[in-house]
Structure 1
Amino acid sequence: MPHLKIRGMAKEPIIKNSKELIDGLTNIVKCDRTWFTIEHIETEYIFDGKIIDGYTFVELFWFERTPEVKKEVANFITKFIKNINGNKDCCVIFFPMKGENYCDNGEFF
């Protein structure tokens, strides 16, 4: 944990750059890189009866960090995604988790 869910962009750039993404986040968050997961969610945006290009969303599920770390993570992810996704807009949404709601192999944090 942290878990990143990315939608609204192609999967290939995420795969190709996943090591760099995790390395950068590890430096900011200061946790073991093996705790990170990245999930690509296939998305189609629909408007006025057509499939359209959509916004890139990165959802980050994590145990809350300081506001300074959160801002640094948001800036890093935004710049990183824009760089690998043709400078398209990017929204980062944080989902703070509590240990009592996170159970891994039967053990709560």
Structure 2
Amino acid sequence: MPHLYFRGLSVERVQAMSGSLEAELSVIIGCEPSDLMLEVIHTTCVSGGRIAPSYPFVEIAWFERGREVRDAVARCLDRLIRDGGVPEVEVAFRGYRPSDYYANGEPFGVDPAEAELEALRADNAKLKEDLARARKAAAAATAGSMSTRLRDALRE
């Protein structure tokens, strides 16, 4: 993780830039070069009833790392691919949540929103219990000291 899927580029082109690409991206992303998975997807593009060249496209599937890192990764890919003689290339990112990504049947992490929601539910339950105890204590305290006439007036 991250996975980089290359379409419209030859295996040889990706292989030629892979050393530089892995070295640069590992620094930008903050991972080991061996954590990067580069795959060349063989596709056949059809346009106007004929086989046409596939447009150079790179899709990065990863755990979101923020705009600054995304921009740096896109610029790095663009530079290395276009320096290899490709006139233009598009890059797209697909972000995974660690709680939705599994390895060997185990999730990579907990969704922060789910964890926050559970914490809020626990806090809410405690507040409900505290409020019920406070109401009960207040009712007991006022029941013994309040006159019947005052209690009847408050009920109305």
TM over 0.5: same fold? yes
Percent identity of paired positions between Structure 1 and Structure 2: 35
TM-score (norm 1): 0.92
Indicate conservation of the 8 Å contact 1:56/1:88, yes or no.
no
Q: Name the Cα RMSD after superposition.
A: 1.1
Indicate conservation of the 8 Å contact 2:17/2:80, yes or no.
no
The answer as to 2:40 corresponding to 1:40 is yes
TM-score (norm 2): 0.66
Shift of 1:105: 1.8
Question: Matches of residues 79-94 of structure 1 in structure 2 within 5 Å?
Answer: 79-84=79-84, 86-94=85-93
Detail structure 1 runs of 4+ shifted over 3 Å in the superposition. none
| Larger proportion of helix | 2
Unaligned runs of 5+ in 1: none
Unaligned runs of 5+ in 2: 109-156
Larger-Rg structure: 2
Q: Which has the higher contact order (CA 8 A, sep 6+)?
A: 1
Shift of 1:102: 0.7
Deviations for 1:24-80, whole angstroms, at most 9, x for unmatched residues?
101111112221101100112111111112311100001001211111111111111
Number of positions where the alignment pairs a residue of Structure 1 with one of Structure 2? 108
| Larger proportion of strand | 1
